[in-house]
Amino acid sequence: MNRELDFSQVDWAEFGKATNATLQMLGYSSLFTLILGLPIGIILFLTARSSSAGARSVYAVLAFVVNLLRSVPFIILIIALLPFTKFIVDTQIGVRGMIPPLVIGAAPFFARLVETSLREVDRGVIEAAQAMGASTRQIVLRVILPEALPGLVAGFTITVITLISYTAMSGLVGGGGLGQLAVSYGYNRYETSVMLVALVIIVIMVQIIQMVGDRLVAHFTRK
Amino acid sequence: MITIKNLVKTYGTGAKAMTALKGIDLEIAKGEIFGIIGHSGAGKSTLIRCINMLERPTSGDILIGKTDMTRLGKGQLQQQRRRIGMIFQHFNLLSSATVYENIAFPLRLVRTPKAEVDRKVKEMLELVGLTEHAKKHPAQLSGGQKQRVGIARALATDPDVLLCDEATSALDPQTTDSILRLLLDINRKLGLTIVLITHEMHVIQSICDKVAVIQGGVIVEEGPVIDVFLKPKQPVTRDFINRESENAEALEEAIRATDAASSRTVKVTFIGELTYQSILSQTVKETGVNFAILQGTISRIKETPYGQLVVRFEGDTADIRRTLERLTQQRLEVEELEA
């Protein structure tokens, strides 16, 4: 099994396509995770500390679903969601087929990160807005979200990076992209060089995203 | 302006219930600076937060003008709150917004036209003296400057009432004085009614017209500052005042050392213009007694000068009695102290 790295095996055009597929999966799933996870996080935040019993039962149900989805390992989630995926995007493989499980897997995770960073907002600032006659909607849009922005960006960065590892995992079940390349060539055909290149590209993606995220957090931090 | 009737606030229920306010009645007149002083846990913070319903009272009424705050629906309450400005111990500014945006915040909540927002914010910046700091973020400001932004923000919507929740407690003494001067200035210029809570007698003495002393959820003493300050009735009030003039113990010792046969120790209080007149020396010249000053304060309560001296008169008993009578005749207040 001891073989030399042979980069002539690497089909660079194939890598171009795979990288592109990964980026597409990542882009769409990040977008939908944001769209789905942010409101869920806000609802978790608002209902958790509400004085109304109705709101607190919304919290209990939502928190249970979020915890449930977060406790399923991603690879099992993809399989469990196959019928749902088929129903939503009319396929179970490729970039399109992976987006529903990626979003369902990452949105609850992101929602919890959103909830946590909203809780970090100074209670006094919210109270000041209440004292000025702000409605709940105004408090969310004009106080809590802007004040929590650095935390939200940091949380989203972590989520996108988690999504990268999810897209790579999805290669095991026909998800396409760099993960599939690494599995089918690198693992099944012992072309270590292919696996290595796939790995390097993924590492570079993670580094870039983390760097951009950190810069944005620094930009929005005013404390 | 503000009428509080039988206000009760209980936290929790059953065995864990804690009553923070036990039936508060207060009447605050328009244009007045009304101070509420108490130790931490006395209920003063709960009381001020009930005025704008940040805390929901358990029972009782809070009338601002003719509006009963406790009976308003959500929308009406939001509307009414815009008539009540509030400033806080920890300023509670939006850290993500500039000074300008912080002051514009309450105006933008009600969709004020842009030009009007700009005019009003500039006016407020001018009022609190922060015009050149408009583009800074709160983190770049000192504590005093942050509180000025808080005041500008609270006043931007032209409220009738300003609530100050320990507004100077996080500031150093000089900054405290400058903020107090600003509040007094605003009170005069705009005829604004100010309700403030504090644990510092100094704050009450500097700017308040009336004061209420709260202890254990009850108002134990109330009245014009000058009366309460010079003639405190309750131990807790005396405690607050004595903290301002620290040497109560030294005084007691001096009184104890007095020879009761040939001398009497009295507290003489001057109020208003009498403070700066030479009444005491003229009187002793006439009656021929000697005196020693054991303790004394000449200061002001808001605008009113006052003096309070603890004096030991020495001499013939009849002469001393005559001296005290003369002082009383000249409208000084004389109170005999016992060892």
Interface touch B96/A222, C-beta < 8 Å = yes
Tell me how many helices (H) and strands (E) chain A has: 10, 0
CB-nearest to A131 from B86, B90, B95 is B86
What residue spans in chain B does CATH classification 3.30.70.260 cover? 247-336
Question: B244 falls in which pLDDT band (50, 70, 90)?
Answer: low
Selected residue of A132, A135, A141, A223 to mutate for chain B interface (largest B Cβ count, 10 A): A132
A124 in contact with chain B, both atoms CB, cutoff 8 A: yes
Q: Which value, in Å, is the radius of gyration of the alpha carbons in chain B?
A: 24
pLDDT at B132: 94
By C-alpha distance, the chain B residue nearest A128 is B92
A131 in contact with chain B, both atoms CB, cutoff 8 A: yes
- B193, B168, B166: which is closest to B178 by C-alpha? B168
Span B69-90, average pLDDT: 93
CB-nearest to A124 from B84, B92, B163 is B92
B9-39 pLDDT, tens digit each: 999 888 888 999 999 999 999 999 999 999 9
Query: In A171-189, which positions are buried (b, 16+ CB within 10 angstroms) versus exposed (e)?
Result: bebbbbbbbbbbbebbeee
Question: A160 falls in which pLDDT band (50, 70, 90)?
Answer: very high
Mean pLDDT, rounded, of chain A = 90
Distance from CA of A24 to the nearest CA of B (A): 33
Question: Is residue B323 within 8 Å of B283, Cβ to Cβ?
Answer: yes
Distance from CA of A177 to the nearest CA of B (A): 39
Give yes or no for residue A39 having a pLDDT over 80: yes
CB-nearest to B82 from A133, A138, A222 is A133
Span A20-31, average pLDDT: 94
Selected residue of B80, B83, B92 to mutate for chain A interface (largest A Cβ count, 10 A): B92
Phi, psi dihedrals of residue B246, rounded to the nearest 5°? -60, -30
CATH topology of domain B247-336: Alpha-Beta Plaits (3.30.70)
CB-nearest to B109 from A138, A220, A222 is A138
Interface touch B105/A130, C-beta < 8 Å = no
Interface touch A135/B78, C-beta < 8 Å = yes
By C-alpha distance, the chain A residue nearest B109 is A134
Interface touch B157/A134, C-beta < 8 Å = no
Give yes or no for residue B98 having a pLDDT over 90: yes
The model's pTM is 0.86
Phi-psi region of B13 (alpha: psi -120 to 50; beta: other; left: phi over 0): beta
Span B315-320, average pLDDT: 89
Q: Apex CA A101: angle with CA A97 and CA A104, to 5°? A: 145
Q: Which value, in Å, is the radius of gyration of the alpha carbons in chain A?
A: 21
Span B286-292, average pLDDT: 89
Question: Is residue A118 within 8 Å of A43, Cβ to Cβ?
Answer: no
Span B277-295, average pLDDT: 89
A135 in contact with chain B, both atoms CB, cutoff 8 A: yes
Interface touch A134/B90, C-beta < 8 Å = no
Span B134-139, average pLDDT: 95
Interface touch B105/A122, C-beta < 8 Å = no
Cα torsion B159, B161, B163, B167 to 10°: value is 70
Span A134-151, average pLDDT: 96
* Cα distance between residue B31 and residue B209, in whole Å: 10
Give yes or no for residue B82 having a pLDDT over 50: yes
**At a CB cut-off of 8 Å and minimum separation 6, what does A2 contact?**
none
Give yes or no for residue A1 having a pLDDT over 50: no
Q: How many residues in chain B?
A: 339
Residues of A in contact with B97 (CB under 8 A): 146
Q: What pairing do the DSSP bridges indicate for beta strands B193-198 and B161-165?
A: parallel
Residues of A in contact with B96 (CB under 8 A): 146-147, 149, 220, 222
A112-128 pLDDT, tens digit each: 999 999 999 999 999 99
Interface touch B109/A147, C-beta < 8 Å = no
Q: Is the model more confident about A162 or about A1?
A: A162
CB-nearest to A132 from B81, B90, B96 is B81
pLDDT above 90 covers a percentage of chain B that reads 62
CATH no. for B2-242: 3.40.50.300
Q: How many residues in chain A?
A: 223
By C-alpha distance, the chain A residue nearest B53 is A131
Q: Is A61 exposed, middle or buried (0-12, 13-18, 19+ CB in 10 A)?
A: exposed
B199-217 pLDDT, tens digit each: 998 899 999 999 999 999 9
Alpha helix (H) residue ranges in B156-288: 173-190, 201-207, 225-230, 235-244, 248-256, 279-287
pLDDT at B246: 57
Mean pLDDT, rounded, of chain B = 90
* Cα distance between residue B278 and residue B293, in whole Å: 15
SS3 A100: helix
Q: ipTM, 2 decimals?
A: 0.85
* Cα distance between residue A173 and residue A170, in whole Å: 6
pLDDT above 70 covers a percentage of chain A that reads 98
Interface touch A131/B79, C-beta < 8 Å = no
By C-alpha distance, the chain A residue nearest B157 is A132
B162-194 pLDDT, tens digit each: 999 999 999 999 999 999 999 999 999 999 999
B84 in contact with chain A, both atoms CB, cutoff 8 A: yes
Give yes or no for residue A58 having a pLDDT over 80: yes
Phi, psi dihedrals of residue B319, rounded to the nearest 5°? -65, -40
Q: Apex CA B174: angle with CA B251 and CA B274, to 5°? A: 50
Q: Is B15 exposed, middle or buried (0-12, 13-18, 19+ CB in 10 A)?
A: exposed
Interface touch A133/B108, C-beta < 8 Å = no
SS3 B161: strand
What residue spans in chain B does CATH classification 3.40.50.300 cover? 2-242
Which residues face B36 on adjacent strands? B197, B212
A130 in contact with chain B, both atoms CB, cutoff 8 A: yes
